[in-house]
């Protein structure tokens, strides 16, 4: 059994989606539908930049989703591989959970684009620029990262945002606390702490205003039934109930992305291979979590064609 997985923020770069759009009408149709839904020429920014516009959270989130869904649509339309027939589960990293839900039929494409646009705007607005920060801890497991976060907090917010794999954990919170954590990393047996070039402290309690906005939005556009189970970020467990998933999407804004635990749970549930659509970030993470898991990343037409031939 295999899972289709979808990347999160940071996987964007100028030119994203261009090769697929040049090669496939199915991809072009996805990008056009997203542009229409947002009343914005987002694909022009994806194809041509400028980079500072693409990396804006409110643009990066729908752009990464659009590229991944375009990859899936090409796989389905041009190569005859349907997700419902080929995957036993879906999952996504942070915003990728919305992509996974779109892929599984819980949200239509236009709704997903609008929700992610709003999510990006809300997350950016939740904390004034310069007040928050995030840092990646390299060579840190969850226990070391937890101890470091507690030591660095000093009455400020310093929380685990992403438990990515056994060697990488991301902290989020007030800028001062995160900078202290970077300075204290080696004392806690952690190889290195690196400040991340982000515009807001995602996945921590400072994001509560954004969670409130998403609760309102999702109350009006809740997910529908999905074709295959989803493994949710905040619980690292299988979800099949749309009502439960709506609440988990709200909690996800302030909650930890439990990616390592999600992969472990999927493996325990019988997932043997992981197929990343539209990126090549999650595959290496999964390989570090479980060396026995098979991984592949599908980005271009040749990779999609090879995958379709392999599973035929």
Supply the pLDDT for residue 234.
Answer: 97
Domain spans, the chain: 2-126+206-311, 132-198
Catalytic residue (choose from 11, 24, 93, 94): 94
Q: What Rg value do the Cα atoms of the chain yield, rounded?
A: 19
Same fold, 2-126+206-311 and 132-198: no
Catalytic residue (choose from 93, 203, 262, 297): 203
The answer to whether 46 and 31 have CB atoms below 8 angstroms apart is yes
**CB count in 10 Å sphere of residue 251:** 16
Structure-token match 């987002």, residue found: 42
- Give CA–CA dist 51/45, Å, rounded: 8
Supply the pLDDT for residue 297.
Answer: 95
The answer to whether 46 and 54 have CB atoms below 8 angstroms apart is yes
Domain covering 132-198 in this structure, CATH number: 3.30.70.250
- Structure confidence by residue, pLDDT tens digits, 52-61: 899 888 999 9
Tokens of 124: 């950016």
- Give CA–CA dist 297/39, Å, rounded: 31
**DSSP structure class, residue 211:** H
List, in sequence order, every residue forming a beta bridge with 170; answer none if it has no partner.
136, 162
- Phi-psi group of 31: left, alpha or beta (phi > 0 → left; psi -120 to 50 → alpha; rest → beta): alpha
Supply the pLDDT for residue 12.
Answer: 80
- Give CA–CA dist 257/125, Å, rounded: 21
- pTM for the model stands at 0.96
Supply the pLDDT for residue 295.
Answer: 97
- CATH of 2-126+206-311, picked from 3.30.420.40, 3.20.20.70, 3.40.50.620, 3.40.366.10, is 3.40.366.10
- Residue ranges of the alpha helices (H) in 78-126? 83-86, 96-103, 109-126
Low-confidence stretches of the chain (pLDDT < 50) are none
- Give CA–CA dist 72/166, Å, rounded: 29
Supply the pLDDT for residue 107.
Answer: 98
- Phi-psi group of 221: left, alpha or beta (phi > 0 → left; psi -120 to 50 → alpha; rest → beta): beta
The answer to whether 101 and 112 have CB atoms below 8 angstroms apart is yes
- Give CA–CA dist 198/175, Å, rounded: 11
- Structure confidence by residue, pLDDT tens digits, 190-216: 999 999 988 889 999 999 999 999 999
Q: Is 24 a catalytic residue?
A: no
The answer to whether 276 and 5 have CB atoms below 8 angstroms apart is yes
Q: Is 203 a catalytic residue?
A: yes
Supply the pLDDT for residue 10.
Answer: 77
Supply the pLDDT for residue 98.
Answer: 98
Of the candidates 298, 290, 286, 116, the one whose C-alpha atom is nearest the C-alpha of residue 214 is 116
Structure-token match 């037409």, residue found: 301
Supply the pLDDT for residue 157.
Answer: 98
């Amino acid at each position: 059994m295999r899972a289709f997985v979808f990347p999160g923020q940071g996987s964007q770069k100028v030119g994203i989606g261009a090769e697929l759009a040049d090669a496939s009408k199915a991809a072009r149709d996805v990008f056009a539908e997203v542009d229409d839904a947002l009343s914005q020429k987002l694909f022009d920014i994806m194809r041509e930049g400028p980079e500072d516009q693409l990396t804006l959270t409110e643009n990066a989130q729908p752009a990464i989703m659009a590229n991944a869904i375009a990859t899936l649509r090409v796989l389905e339309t041009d190569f005859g591989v349907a997700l419902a027939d080929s995957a036993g589960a879906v999952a996504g990293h942070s915003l990728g959970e919305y992509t996974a839900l779109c892929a599984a039929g819980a949200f239509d494409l236009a709704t997903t684009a609008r929700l992610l646009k709003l999510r990006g705007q809300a997350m950016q607005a939740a904390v004034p620029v310069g007040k928050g920060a995030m840092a990646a801890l390299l060579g840190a497991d969850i226990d070391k990262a937890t101890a470091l976060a507690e030591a660095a907090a000093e009455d400020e917010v310093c929380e685990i945002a992403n438990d990515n794999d056994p060697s990488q954990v991301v902290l989020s919170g007030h800028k001062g606390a995160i900078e202290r954590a970077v300075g204290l990393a080696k004392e806690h047996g952690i190889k290195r702490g690196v400040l991340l070039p982000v515009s807001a402290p995602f996945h921590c309690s400072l994001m509560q205003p954004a969670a409130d906005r998403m609760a309102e939005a999702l109350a009006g556009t809740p997910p529908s039934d999905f074709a295959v189970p989803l493994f949710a970020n905040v619980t690292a467990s299988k979800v099949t109930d749309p009502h439960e998933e709506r609440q988990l999407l709200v909690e996800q804004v302030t909650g930890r992305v439990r990616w390592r635990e999600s992969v472990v749970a999927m493996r325990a549930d019988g997932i043997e291979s992981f197929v990343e659509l539209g990126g090549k970030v999650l595959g290496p993470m999964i390989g570090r979590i479980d060396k026995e898991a098979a991984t592949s990343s599908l980005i271009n037409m040749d990779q999609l064609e090879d995958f379709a031939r392999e599973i035929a």
